[in-house]
């Protein structure tokens, strides 16, 4: 079992919370893990990415090879396309469809969506609205994990454990909202793929 995942978005969107939850679930499932992060200047509203690798065998490189990623999980649609050189032939692009527009030359959203739809295996999800609907706008990242859950190679229950571990300190309500977000993302992905 091996999954190479590019996590991406815009600095400040909190992509590392995705890595933390999946990472906890992976370690609890006795998998090896390597996760290269971006710190420093780009965190100020620039494009950010994390190379996230889990495997049942020892992992060597901290970077995913080009053409080797099983999945791109992006919390921003344009950013999902920036890392296409990393995607493998049958890889999945799972991306939030809501743009984070902090540049003057942001392209037309339809063009971005059209490019995403060209990829055979993709899930385009309005994670922001889904998170708002369940009353927890900040749980957008958990909706994204839910949408990717089927392809992660990790038991869904382990992801729930991950959420319990990460958000446990913030109280039961916070844990439940984030689990709800995770489940809502999963439900959307099931419908989307039909």
Q: Which residues bind other proteins (CB under 8 A)?
A: 10-12, 23, 27, 32-47, 51, 57, 59-63, 65-68, 78-79, 81-82, 84-87, 102-107, 111-112, 115
- Between 42 and 193, CB nearer to other proteins: 42
DSSP 40-109: SGGGTTSEEEEEEEEESS----SSPPTT-EEEEEESSHHHHHHTGGGEEEEEEEEEE-S----STTPPPH
The pair of structure tokens assigned to 163 is 């959420």
The tokens describing 11, both together, are: 């600095």
Nearer to other proteins by Cβ, of 37 and 129: the residue is 37
Q: How far apart are CB 47 and other proteins at their closest, in Å? A: 4
Smaller CB separation from other proteins, 66 or 192: 66
Nearer CB in complex with other proteins: 62/190:
62
Q: At its nearest, how many Å lie between other proteins and the CB of residue 184?
A: 26
Residue 14 class from Cβ within 10 Å (0-12 exposed, 13-18 middle, 19+ buried)?
Answer: middle
Smallest separation (angstroms) from other proteins to the CB of 41: 5
């Amino acid at each position: 079992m091996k999954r190479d995942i590019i996590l991406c978005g815009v600095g400040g969107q909190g992509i590392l919370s995705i890595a933390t939850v999946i990472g906890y679930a992976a370690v609890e499932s006795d998998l090896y893990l390597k996760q290269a992060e971006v710190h420093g200047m780009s965190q100020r509203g620039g494009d950010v990415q994390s190379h996230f690798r889990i495997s049942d065998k020892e992992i060597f490189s901290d970077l995913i090879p080009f053409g080797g990623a099983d999945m791109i999980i992006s919390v921003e649609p344009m950013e999902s396309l920036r890392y296409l050189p990393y995607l493998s032939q049958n890889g999945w692009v799972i991306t939030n469809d809501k743009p984070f527009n902090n540049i003057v030359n942001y392209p037309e959203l339809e063009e971005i969506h059209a490019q995403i739809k060209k990829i055979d295996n993709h899930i385009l999800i309005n994670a922001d609205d889904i998170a708002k609907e369940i009353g927890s706008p900040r749980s957008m990242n958990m909706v994204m994990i839910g949408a990717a859950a089927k392809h992660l190679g990790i038991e869904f229950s382990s992801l729930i454990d991950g959420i319990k571990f990460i958000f446990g300190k913030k109280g039961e309500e916070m844990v439940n909202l984030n689990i709800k977000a995770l489940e809502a993302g999963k439900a959307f992905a099931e419908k989307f793929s039909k």
